[in-house]
Chains A and B, each alone.
Chain A
Amino acid sequence: DAKTTQPNSMESNEEEPVHLPCNHSTISGTDYIHWYRQLPSQGPEYVIHGLTSNVNNRMASLAIAEDRKSSTLILHRATLRDAAVYYCIPSNFGNEKLTFGTGTRLTIIP
């Protein structure tokens, strides 16, 4: 499994954009980059995934570096509901196992 490095914690003001970084320098060529988040007292929730090019969905955007050794999850306008632990997970879609690291605890300041 590729090793990931994420900041332990980040803070952001409500209604401002948030950029959550992740380093995954040992990622293999066939690994997708998944992002999940876990809100307090809930199970993890899928956010977004991508392989090479940037991806957008209704929740967030994923910017992937050209060398694929890092990626950034972008929340365009943070709300209080976005306070959660965010996990970046490289995973080959041929392997269903998700290996969660310690993630980034995001705090949103009203």
Chain B
Amino acid sequence: KAGVTQTPRYLIKTRGQQVTLSCSPISGHRSVSWYQQTPGQGLQFLFEYFSETQRNKGNFPGRFSGRQFSNSRSEMNVSTLELGDSALYLCASSLRLRQEQFFGPGTRLTVL
């Protein structure tokens, strides 16, 4: 069974631009969560989706948004990029809520 896939794996943007990251969960998994990892802040929860509904949200500004499609694939969007948004963005999927999470390899975003 294929694991969680994230595209693109690497991305370079400039300040003020926007970016969309994609996550395909493991087949059959309906819950998708997003995390940001930086050297200074560690791994921080962004948001979580189940059956196309956002179920939980972390402490991030409104520039960070996401959505989930009917096939459980998810996207996250960051608008008006700032230098501090440079990070590894990780997506995790689980079969349903309250299950162990399987993480993808992440998308490394660099903002110049």
Residue of B nearest to A34 (CB): B100
Q: Which of B4, B42, B44, B48 contacts A96 (CB 8 A)?
A: B48
What sequence of 0s and 1s flags, for each residue 33-58 of chain B, a beta carbon within 8 Å of any chain A beta carbon? 10100000011110010100001101
B89 CB, nearest partner CB in chain A, Å: 10
> B4: which A residues are within 8 A, CB to CB?
43
Asked if B56 contacts A96 (CB within 8 A), the reply is yes
Bound Cα distance from A45 to B58, whole angstroms: 21
Asked if A46 contacts B100 (CB within 8 A), the reply is yes
A91 CB, nearest partner CB in chain B, Å: 10
Asked if B56 contacts A46 (CB within 8 A), the reply is no
Q: Which of A44, A94, A102 contacts B103 (CB 8 A)?
A: A44
B104 CB, nearest partner CB in chain A, Å: 6
Query: Does B25 touch A at the CB level, under 8 Å?
Result: no
Query: Does B72 touch A at the CB level, under 8 Å?
Result: no
Asked if B31 contacts A96 (CB within 8 A), the reply is yes
Binds A, one of B12-20, B78-86, B90-98: B90-98
Q: Which residues of B59-79 have CB atoms within 8 Å of chain A's CB atoms?
A: none
Asked if B48 contacts A97 (CB within 8 A), the reply is yes
Bound Cα distance from A98 to B35, whole angstroms: 9
Bound Cα distance from A94 to B105, whole angstroms: 26
Q: How many A-B residue pairs have CB under 8 A?
A: 54
Query: Does B101 touch A at the CB level, under 8 Å?
Result: yes
Residue of B nearest to A47 (CB): B100
Query: Does A49 touch B at the CB level, under 8 Å?
Result: yes
Residue of A nearest to B6 (CB): A43
Question: Given A43-B90, A44-B90, A102-B42 in contact, is the A96-B100 Cβ separation under 8 Å?
Answer: no
Bound Cα distance from A13 to B42, whole angstroms: 27
Asked if B42 contacts A49 (CB within 8 A), the reply is no
Asked if A100 contacts B48 (CB within 8 A), the reply is no
10 A-B pairs within 8 Å (CB atoms) are namely A34-B100, A43-B92, A43-B106, A44-B92, A46-B101, A93-B98, A95-B56, A96-B48, A97-B56, A99-B45
Bound Cα distance from A43 to B92, whole angstroms: 9
